[in-house]
Amino acid sequence: MNGIAMGAGVCISVHGKFRVATENSIFAMPENALGLFPDAGHFLSRLHGFFGEFLGLTGTRLDGAEMLACGLATHFVPSAKLSLLEKALISRAASATSSCDLAFISAIIDEYSLQQPALNEKSALHKMDVIDKCFSRPTVEDILSALEKEVTTTDANKAGDEWLASTIRSLKKASPMSLKICLRSIREGRVQAMDECLVRQYSICCHAMRGQISKDFREGCRAIVWDKDKKPKWKPSSLDLITDHMVDHYFSRLDGDEELKLPQRSNLPVFANAKL
> Which helix (DSSP H) or strand (DSSP E) does residue 6 occupy?
strand 4-6
Could you tell me which residues come within 8 angstroms of residue 3 by beta carbon, excluding any fewer than 6 positions away? 24, 25, 26
pTM here?
Answer: 0.90
pLDDT given at position 186: 95
Domain boundaries, the chain: 79-111, 177-275
pLDDT at 178 (0 to 100): 97
Which distant-in-sequence residues (6+ apart) come within 8 Å of 146 by Cβ? 133, 134, 137
| pLDDT values of the chain reduced to their tens digit, one per residue, 276 residues | 899 988 888 888 888 889 999 999 999 999 999 999 998 768 899 999 999 999 999 999 999 999 999 999 999 999 999 999 999 998 887 776 655 678 888 999 999 999 889 999 999 999 999 999 999 999 999 999 999 999 887 465 666 689 999 999 999 999 999 999 999 999 999 998 888 899 999 999 999 999 999 999 999 999 999 999 999 999 999 999 999 999 999 999 998 788 888 887 767 666 665 555
> Across 26-133, where does the E strand assignment appear?
26-28, 62-63, 75-76
- Measured between alpha carbons, how far is 19 from 16 in angstroms, rounded to an integer? 6
Size (the chain), residues: 276
Q: Is the C-alpha dihedral spanning 191, 195, 200, 205 positive or negative?
A: positive
Helix (H) or strand (E) holding 120: none
> What is the rounded distance in angstroms from the CA atom of residue 175 to the CA atom of residue 159?
27
Which pLDDT tens digit goes with each residue over 118-138? 999 999 999 999 999 999 999
- pLDDT digit string, tens, across residues 207-263: 999 999 999 999 999 999 999 999 999 999 999 999 999 999 999 999 878 888 888
HSE value, Cβ hemisphere, 13 Å, CA-based, for 207: 23
DSSP state of 222: I
